Structure 1
Amino acid sequence: MTEAPAQVAETHWNDVGIDYDKVLNTDASNVALLSAAVALLPADVKDLLDVGSGTGRLTKLCRDALPGARIVGVDPAPTMVQAAREKFAADPDVSFADGVVEDLSLFPDNSFDAVISSFALHHLELDVYATAAAELFRVLRPGGRFVNADQFCRVMGPVASQERALDILDLLTAKARHYLEHACFERMLLQVDLLPRFMREDGEILTTPEYWGDRLTEAGFEQVTIVSTPPAELYNRVVWAVKPAR
């Protein structure tokens, strides 16, 4: 495994000033989403890639589910990569690197039995989705599985489209209210702070789950499946697919 970092993108997540793990753990909807994603990993996975691994919160769940696996995380935010490295400093089979999903050149073809991601890929610009799906397909072994747990929207379109803007505004303000009532003030505030970015599609770009599914199909994946997690109205979904076996 080379030490050189892959292409790293600018990301506002390098400057997050909250205890991200603590805040997200108060959010039962996010806990349910991640649990559903981990449950979709085959029990015989030996090599797992966590894309957009952040502080290693999902990585920890994967490690608990797959105690014998080698796990590699990649993320474009160096501060989060460092936090994850510190969290797993005592585990020689878990490592982290700077990287982005659209450039996984750190890894040879057919490197992993499974790739997982959570709340990360909605940061992609739409014009790199096809490249990202192709890279995911490339690094998976035949028969390997990709699992993406993320937040999605119901309507896509140009940023200035009133239909799209109203859908995003309604969806995300409902989420903020839900987080205040059922998670914590900081979780609500994180959603509110990010709302302008979602509205402008400035590093926070929601798609429909079907849009992701179409890109995976175009890349060669099969068995593309969309799973809803509670509460369904928040539009958290798991999109998973399989690279055909030879």
Structure 2
Amino acid sequence: MADWDELAGRFDEAFFADPMYSRMLAAMVERVPDREGIRALDLGCGTGNLIALLLERSPSMRITGVDPSAGMREVSAERFRDRPDVKITAGDALDIPFPDASFNLLVSSLALHHVPPDLKPSCAQELARVLEPGGIFIHADPFCGVPGAPDEPPWWRDVIERMVAKAVYSLEHGAWNMMLGELRAIPLVLRGEGEYLIMAEEWEMVLHDAGFTGFEVIDIPPVDLYKIISCTLRRAGRASAE
């Protein structure tokens, strides 16, 4: 698994060289409602790139960024040191350090694929816990295209093809460091070492079981790897079969 503390200072240079990364963040922000009173949590906030875009869209938004990496938190906290409406704190997707229903918007980009598949249900329950009923969850991550376990050849082939295609895309756009990181991540995904790819449909089912509904899945072109999943936490009294 990557050493995110060590990578914190180079993260933006690598990722912003990749047009798909910027396109993904923009597509996420487009789905955020333009209204007053938003209390947002950015889970796995990294260096604060998504937070900055959210503030551009809605300057009155109050945002909390949570990240397990001290290096990432340091960069993000320095970036928003003059913004009292932005708080950065330690935490992860399985232990979010806030009371129930603390937020009405939850966002996460390129973070939750680090949660092992057997812990996805616990993760989804934790997301639902801190989001108020009717709150919105917008999440972007890499996904594979076939079901299976890491010891099944069809799954291996699908993961390799998608991740190599993304690395080639990065190469073609001059995102050299991004390409190298993507190639280094392939064996980690195949061995299940801190990087885990599942199908978007599998994650959608887990989220549904945790109380989410109204799913929208958006592909980020041109490589079929990144997807955005947008959904809403079911309000009390709504039928569980939604």
TM-score range, shorter chain: over 0.9
CA drift of 1:245 comes to 3.0
CA drift of 1:198 comes to 1.4
Alignment: residue pair count: 235
Whole-angstrom distance in 1 between the partners of 2:185 and 2:136: 31
Whole-angstrom distance in 2 between the partners of 1:87 and 1:17: 13
**Residue 185 (structure 2) pairs with residue 194 (structure 1):** yes
**Residue 78 (structure 2) pairs with residue 86 (structure 1):** yes
Give the SS at the match of 2:216: strand
Superposition misfits of 4+ residues, deviation over 4 angstroms: none
Superposed CA RMSD: 1.6
Whole-angstrom distance in 1 between the partners of 2:7 and 2:147: 27
* Aligned partner letter, 1:84: S
Partner of 1:56 in structure 2? 48
TM-score, length-scaled by structure 2: 0.92
Contact 2:42 2:108 in 1 (8 A): yes
* Aligned partner letter, 1:79: G
Contact 2:67 2:89 in 1 (8 A): yes
**Residue 155 (structure 2) pairs with residue 164 (structure 1):** yes
Give the SS at the match of 1:159: coil
Partner of 1:66 in structure 2? 58
| Residues 44-193 of structure 1 mapped to structure 2, 5 A cutoff | 44=35, 45-104=37-96, 106-193=97-184
Partner of 1:245 in structure 2? 235
Whole-angstrom distance in 1 between the partners of 2:231 and 2:122: 16
CA drift of 1:218 comes to 0.3
TM-score, length-scaled by structure 1: 0.91
Partner of 1:6 in structure 2? none
Partner of 1:25 in structure 2? 16
Whole-angstrom distance in 1 between the partners of 2:123 and 2:59: 28
Contact 1:151 1:236 in 2 (8 A): yes
* Aligned partner letter, 2:191: R
CA drift of 1:15 comes to 2.8
Give the SS at the match of 1:202: coil
* Aligned partner letter, 1:48: A
**Residue 4 (structure 2) pairs with residue 13 (structure 1):** yes
Contact 2:102 2:131 in 1 (8 A): yes
